[in-house]
């Protein structure tokens, strides 16, 4: 393999590795109390109760 081709292969491997490690969301998520994020646990509980009465399988909260 020529030197420029070897460089491109090495660069591609480094880039792919770095990209794979920066996938969001990651495997681990930080869990914090709702109040720490500016939300109310009491209101989340009410929302969960409501969601249990309708046809839904997921809930996402974006802060």
CA atoms within 13 A on the CB side of 53: 4
What is the structure's pLDDT at 13?
62
Q: How confident is the model at residue 29 (pLDDT cuts 50, 70, 90)?
A: confident
Residues 61, 34 contacting (CB under 8 angstroms):
no
The pLDDT tens digits for 13-26 are: 665 555 555 667 77
Q: What is the pTM of this model?
A: 0.47
CB atoms within 10 A of CB 14: 10
What is the structure's pLDDT at 6?
58
What is the structure's pLDDT at 48?
86
Average pLDDT estimate for 16-37: 74
Report the alpha-carbon distance of residue 59 to residue 2 in Å, rounded: 52
In the DSSP assignment, the letter for residue 37 is G
What is the structure's pLDDT at 35?
92
Report the alpha-carbon distance of residue 47 to residue 38 in Å, rounded: 16
């Amino acid at each position: 393999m020529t030197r420029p081709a070897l460089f491109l292969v090495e660069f591609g491997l480094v880039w792919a590795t770095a990209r794979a490690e920066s996938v969001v969301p990651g495997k681990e998520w930080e869990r914090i109390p709702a109040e720490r994020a500016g939300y109310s646990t009491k209101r989340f509980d009410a929302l969960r109760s409501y969601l249990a009465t309708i046809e839904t399988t997921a809930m996402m909260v974006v802060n």
